[in-house]
């Protein structure tokens, strides 16, 4: 089958890889150059973890783990580094994650905050602490490049600098060319609503410009990836963090201003940086809170924070992944390929149509 994939971020690239492995003739269209900084897939670090309260997401992460290791083997590229991951905060949020990991047979342990701080001196902990070792960080830029290279090695055509202007039932048009397709996959991130025809009923997709920051560590101690959930000693939407090449990155979840991806200003707001520095002073004794180096990226989310992976006719849409989707990319690629091959959406969580706010 001749398949055109629109969007060369991590989801589009992973989908192209899986489709090419299944023998499809794949053309991947990306509007920007390789390694660009305009979407949601760039940078050096993304969290990989299994700790979700929903059994489906736990299982999906386990499937993704196996596929990440396969991609590493196929491309001789180191992508996933296991550091372990910590969830801490309100017991009502943390406890269901403990139960879901146990149900899946995944290793984990629950610690008291004082015990956890002895183990990870760079962090201060809140109320209930869950640690699971089969977690860590992915190198984002290398991951996208590895998917793309692996797909190309299997015969996929990768066309950069090819913004899509229109999609019809069997054609995808750019400024330079019209591609005929048996099936079209749209994985365009923040541009999904702009690309997909109006007759497809998408959930509301909201794009925000998020502003995490890197902080210089003041200790050589090991850093797990971490999620600080709200509800006990932390207000707001929660904080995520992990150590990467540029230092310890922390960020809020979905608090940035709503933007158009074509006109965003790439400038971090001062109040957001101030909040991260305040958090670092209180909860991260292992960093220099004054060393904040802010950056911006895009989140595109659905009202219930569940992804879109569904098919209408010969069009498959994969979107709404920002905030927690990167880790699942190769497993999402399999779900996309299943739809292209004639399947139906594996879970009602990911279907097209209106969604309720979670």
User: Can you list the domains of the chain with their CATH numbers?
Assistant: 1-44+139-203+304-358 (3.50.50.60), 81-136+206-301 (3.30.9.10)
User: What's phi and psi for 156, nearest 5 deg?
Assistant: -70, 140
Q: How many residues does the chain have?
A: 358
- 347 to 243, 318, 337, 356: CA distances (angstroms): 33, 13, 15, 16
Question: Rounded to the nearest 10 degrees, what angle do helices 10-21 and 140-153 cross at?
Answer: 30
Residue stretches of the chain with pLDDT short of 70: 358
Q: Residue 28: which of 144, 162, 182 has the closest Cα?
A: 162
Question: Rounded to the nearest 10 degrees, what angle do helices 91-104 and 55-75 cross at?
Answer: 60
pLDDT at residue 355, rounded to an integer: 86
Q: Residue 185: which of 16, 58, 17 has the closest Cα?
A: 16
- Give the Cα separation of 153 and 349 in Å (integer): 33
At a CB cut-off of 8 Å and minimum separation 6, what does 304 contact? 203, 355, 356, 357, 358
* CB burial of residue 251 (10 Å; 0-12, 13-18, 19+): buried
pLDDT at residue 358, rounded to an integer: 64
> Would the pTM of this model clear 0.85, i.e. be above it?
yes
pLDDT at residue 225, rounded to an integer: 98
């Amino acid at each position: 089958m001749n398949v055109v994939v629109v969007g060369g971020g991590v989801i589009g690239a992973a989908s192209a890889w899986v489709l090419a492995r299944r023998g499809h003739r794949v053309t991947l269209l990306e509007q920007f150059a390789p390694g660009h900084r305009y979407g949601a897939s760039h940078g050096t670090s993304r969290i990989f973890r299994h700790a979700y309260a929903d059994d489906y997401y736990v299982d999906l992460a386990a499937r993704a783990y196996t596929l990440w290791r396969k991609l590493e083997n196929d491309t001789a590229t180191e992508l996933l580094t296991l550091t372990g991951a910590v969830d801490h905060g309100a017991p009502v949020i943390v406890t269901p994650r403990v139960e879901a990991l146990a149900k899946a047979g995944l290793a984990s342990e629950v610690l008291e905050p004082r015990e956890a701080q002895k183990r990870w001196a760079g962090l201060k902990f809140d109320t209930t602490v869950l640690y699971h070792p089969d977690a860590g960080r992915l190198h984002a830029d290398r991951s996208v490049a590895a998917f793309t290279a692996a797909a190309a090695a299997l015969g996929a055509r990768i066309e950069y600098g090819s913004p899509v202007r229109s999609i019809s039932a069997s054609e995808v048009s750019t400024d330079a060319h019209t591609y005929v397709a048996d099936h079209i996959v749209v994985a365009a991130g923040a541009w999904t609503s702009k690309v997909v025809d109006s007759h497809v009923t998408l959930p509301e997709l909201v794009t925000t410009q998020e502003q995490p920051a890197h902080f210089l560590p003041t200790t050589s101690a090991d850093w797990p990836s971490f999620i600080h959930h709200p509800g006990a000693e932390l207000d707001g939407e929660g904080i995520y963090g992990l150590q990467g090449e540029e230092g310890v990155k922390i960020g809020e979840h979905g608090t940035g201003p709503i933007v158009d991806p074509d006109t965003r200003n790439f400038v971090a707001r001062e109040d957001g940086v101030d909040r991260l520095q305040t958090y670092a002073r209180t909860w991260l004794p292992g960093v220099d809170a004054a060393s904040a180096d802010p950056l911006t990226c895009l989140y595109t989310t659905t009202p219930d924070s569940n992804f879109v992976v569904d098919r209408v006719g010969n069009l498959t849409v994969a979107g709404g992944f920002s905030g927690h989707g990167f880790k699942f990319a190769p497993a999402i690629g399999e779900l996309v390929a299943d739809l292209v091959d004639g399947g139906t959406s594996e879970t009602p969580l990911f279907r097209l149509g209106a969604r309720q706010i979670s």
